[in-house]
Amino acid sequence: MFVDLKESWWIRDVEIPTRVVLAPMAGVSVQAFRRQGRRFGAGLVCSEMVSCAGIEHKNERTLGYLRVAADEHPLAIQIFGSEPRAMAEAARMVVAAGADLVDINFGCPVRKVTKTGAGATLLDDPARACGIVESVATAVDVPVSVKMRRGLRDGSRTCLEVGPMLVAAGAATLTLHPRSAQQMYTGFADHALTAELVSLVDVPVIASGDVTSRAKAQSVLATTGAAAVMVGRGAQGNPWAIRQIVDEDAGEPTREEVVAELVLFMRETVRELGERRASSFLKKFYGWYLGRGRFPRQFKQELVVLDSTEEVERLLIAAAPGALPLLELLEDELPSDNEVLLDLPISIYGGG
């Protein structure tokens, strides 16, 4: 069965213009990444997970995640925590920041999250998980989504028991990554489980895990009945993967296009995080963008050891001078004065 990936769909009253969702990824999904994902065809983009405790205590680094640009919508901001009251307060804050959906993380397998009783741990405490969803859904007017794994241990089918309960508690959509928390990112995503979840709930289900090509996206949607697919690691430094999934006529980028997108991403990240934080944050992206045979390995290694993003930019442009006019066009298309600024310390928005 052919599925039109360009077809829009709905999460309650929020229209999602394509059937590709850009995953929330810690240490990756900054605003520049999300805006780029929307430009390349993601119908919905998601922030990296934001600690409800950090929001409650007005931690500047945490509140810095709550900056929303006009060209990100529709946008889900993901929150995590283990206390219904604190999660409800965090939800109100992210809606005030401009989120179109509040996404709740019941899937993170990382120890520093699960040891607090948050993330995937909550799948083994369905009463608390449902209490969190109900509190958040009651606190905000926007749809509430939940991202979860199959369960804590390999072979678990917990998601099939908990999923319908979360919908009854107020979840307007579910995202299933059918790996266990124990698996982390090894092995394969079992989308037979996704198909079972789809049959059990009356809200849209987003299928996450191992969607790296248009053919795989079509296969997952056709065999599961999911409303959309979520793309994560495949889009890291490779927004063309999103375009290739959405549009069957999309091809591979030229070296000039790669450099133009990378430099724009660098400039936007510096604007968001400040030079000091951005310089460190961006190093992993150089390999992601310039890999796949696009540039020699030695060139990527030269960039990683440079001290400033300006030095990196100079080397990139020298390697692909034709990127400059493309970069100018990209920057001309970006909206200006487009961020929602809350009543928060100005240092949050200035990088630092």
Nearest in space to 87 (alpha carbons), one of 68, 108, 102, 71: 102
Give the distance from CA 232 to its chain's centroid. Answer: 7
pLDDT at position 348 over 50: no
Q: Give the whole-angstrom CA distance, residue 77 versus residue 47.
A: 5
Kindly report the pTM of this predicted structure. Answer: 0.93
Q: Give the whole-angstrom CA distance, residue 49 versus residue 103.
A: 9
Write the CA distances from 156 to 132, 170, 179, integer angstroms. Answer: 22, 24, 9
Residues marked as catalytic: 108
pLDDT at position 336 over 80: no
Give the range among 116-120, 238-242, 256-260 with minimum mean pLDDT: 116-120
Q: Give the whole-angstrom CA distance, residue 246 versus residue 254.
A: 19
Answer for the pair 300, 319: CB distance below 8 angstroms, yes or no.
no
Peptide bond preceding 74 in cis form (omega within 30 of 0): yes
Coil, strand or helix at 298: helix
Tell me which of 335 and 320 has the higher pLDDT. Answer: 320
Predicted confidence band at 58 (pLDDT cuts at 50, 70, 90)? confident
pLDDT at residue number 338: 55
Tell me which of 14 and 120 has the higher pLDDT. Answer: 14
Predicted confidence band at 60 (pLDDT cuts at 50, 70, 90)? confident
pLDDT at position 341 over 80: no
pLDDT at residue number 220: 97
Task: Determine what percent of the chain is predicted with pLDDT higher than 90.
Answer: 80
Residue whose pair of structure tokens reads 């205590």 in the numeric block: 57
Q: Write down the mean pLDDT value for the chain.
A: 92
The pLDDT of 264-290, averaged and rounded, is 95
pLDDT at position 339 over 70: no
